[in-house]
Structure 1
């Protein structure tokens, strides 16, 4: 691989890592975190997004872990209400 290609690939890798570090949530987790921040229950989120409650529970658990939040109220301040 020529030097410019390697440098480009390394730059893309660094940018991807930086973006992930800045926002560790997936798009779906961010969507669910926004609904949790609005005070929605898992059942309401599941119904609105056509998911099982179990799936929503898993997403909420992942969001709390990734944001190092102790409970459902913390994502409201971490994610923001306009998510």
Structure 2
């Protein structure tokens, strides 16, 4: 039985990507299901905000099933929150 996403469709794999533009460090967490990845991304955004690291980006990136590295049709990342808090 396939897991259900919050939208009710089949669960897709996602990776949470955290990028610090000051140090240019990138960390990735996952892959996990959509709901778990969203909760993880929101938690990381709150923790960064609490540390006043508003310039650090938190992205929720869907993984395309069967996509190769050469594929030009990649899903766009979802920005959890803009650095300015919007």
Larger radius of gyration: 1
TM-score (norm 2): 0.27
Q: Which has the higher contact order (CA 8 A, sep 6+)?
A: 1
Counting strand residues as a fraction of each chain, which structure ranks higher? 2
Task: Give TM-score scaled by structure 1 length.
Answer: 0.28
